[in-house]
Amino acid sequence: MMKTLYIIIPCYNEEKVLPLTAPMFLKKINQLQEEGLISDNSRILFIDDGSRDDTWSIIQSLAKEDVHYTGIRQSRNRGHQNAVLAGLMEAKDKCDITISIDCDGQDDINAMDDMVQAYLDGCEVVYGVRKERKTDTFFKRFTAESFYKVLKWMGADVVFNHADYRLISSRVLNEFANFKEVNLYLRGMVPLVGFKSTSVYYARHERLAGESHYPLKKMLALAFEGITSLSTKPLKMITILGIGVVFLSLLAAFITLLVLLFGGAAGGIWWLALLIAFFAGVQIICTGLVGSYVGKAYMEVKARPRYIISERTKENE
């Protein structure tokens, strides 16, 4: 039986770009359908993330224009990640495959052909990965690439240069629905579900119209969200910092003793400074220790599924 595809598109104040990109998505759906890769029930699902401009009325008129367009609207602006999640959860029981993509035409729509093909070849998750970041400013490229490196170092499993352009099968989405956390960082969470995955490479373009909603402030917020949602390493680093401070103060005390032994002068202020440094270090260690327990509690509160079964020797047993 032919597979049904839902394209998930978050939109926030996109009245300028939506009329340009919506027909491109429709063309893609029609093309994939004509090639016999997806069924006629496939849809383009817009999620209006509480826009304040004409985005929702544009979506409504698109839906009247062609049966392939549908839309849902969030009660208020909740941010990109929540909008994508809303779309995925809305679609998961109506289709076999979802592909999430931004509505501004930055991500190459034609990469969907390879994504669908990879799915048909047996992959449940296909990550869209940017080949190069020529159109981004040096600053954005540098900050983004350093961020991926930091995340990896912290032990979080993220795909380098992958944003939120990806194919996810409904099977994976049904497992993903068990991840109940409220702090969303989808690109870090999807790899945790597992299943067979692959990457498809594409060139990233300029926005076709309108403006970016990710100024530095939001980018930093997303980066911080990513680190604190996926890793408790920062908490452990506090302990290491404390041990470092204590060690340095002990070293300084040892040097001071040596100076005294060889007839030098070390006044009371020296000892005071050393004591302060020593106890500051002890305090940081204690904070770190408490932090380790907070970190454990934090992971428990998330109540992520502890195992996910992907295959059985006999189905329905």
Distance CA 300, CA 313 (A): 31
Query: Dihedral through CA 30, CA 31, CA 37, CA 43, nearest 10?
Result: -30
- DSSP at 174: H
Q: Which is nearer to Mg ion, 49 or 102 (CB)?
A: 102
Enumerate residues 6+ apart whose C-beta is below 8 A from 272. Answer: none
Minimal distance, residue 126 CB to Mg ion, in Å: 20
Q: Which is nearer to Mg ion, 124 or 164 (CB)?
A: 164
Of 7, 97, 103, 245, the residue at the interface with ligand UDP (CB under 6 A) is 103
Distance CA 72, CA 74 (A): 7
| Range 50-109, binding Mg ion (CB under 5 A) | 102, 104, 106
Distance CA 193, CA 187 (A): 11
Q: Which is nearer to ligand UDP, 215 or 267 (CB)?
A: 215
Of 79, 105, 128, 281, the residue at the interface with ligand UDP (CB under 6 A) is 79
- Are 55 and 16 within 8 A, CB to CB? no
Enumerate residues 6+ apart whose C-beta is below 8 A from 30. Answer: 68
| Range 106-145, binding ligand UDP (CB under 6 A) | 106
Minimal distance, residue 249 CB to ligand UDP, in Å: 45
Is 213 a residue that touches ligand UDP (CB under 6 A)? yes
Q: Which is nearer to ligand UDP, 42 or 81 (CB)?
A: 81
Distance from chain centroid for Cα 128 = 13
Distance CA 183, CA 12 (A): 20
Query: Dihedral through CA 148, CA 166, CA 115, CA 59, nearest 10?
Result: -140
| Residue 283 binding: pick among Mg ion, ligand UDP, none (C-beta 5-8 Å cut-off by kind) | none
Minimal distance, residue 58 CB to ligand UDP, in Å: 12
Q: Is 21 helix (H, G, I), strand (E, B) or coil?
A: helix
| Residue 214 binding: pick among Mg ion, ligand UDP, none (C-beta 5-8 Å cut-off by kind) | ligand UDP
Tokens representing 263 are 């007839």
How far is residue 266 from each of residues 248, 250, 271, 281, measured CA to CA in Å? 17, 15, 8, 22
| Residue 80 binding: pick among Mg ion, ligand UDP, none (C-beta 5-8 Å cut-off by kind) | ligand UDP
| Residue 279 binding: pick among ligand UDP, Mg ion, none (C-beta 5-8 Å cut-off by kind) | none
Q: Which is nearer to ligand UDP, 102 or 114 (CB)?
A: 102
Is 254 a residue that touches ligand UDP (CB under 6 A)? no
Is 96 a residue that touches ligand UDP (CB under 6 A)? no
Is 71 a residue that touches ligand UDP (CB under 6 A)? no
Of 6, 12, 25, 165, the residue at the interface with ligand UDP (CB under 6 A) is 12
Minimal distance, residue 202 CB to Mg ion, in Å: 14
3-state helix, strand, coil in the chain (%, to 5): 50, 15, 35
- Are 22 and 44 within 8 A, CB to CB? yes
| Range 284-313, binding ligand UDP (CB under 6 A) | none
Give the residues lining the site for Mg ion (CB under 5 A).
Answer: 102, 104, 106
Give the residues lining the site for ligand UDP (CB under 6 A).
Answer: 10-12, 14, 49, 77, 79-80, 83, 102-104, 106, 212-214
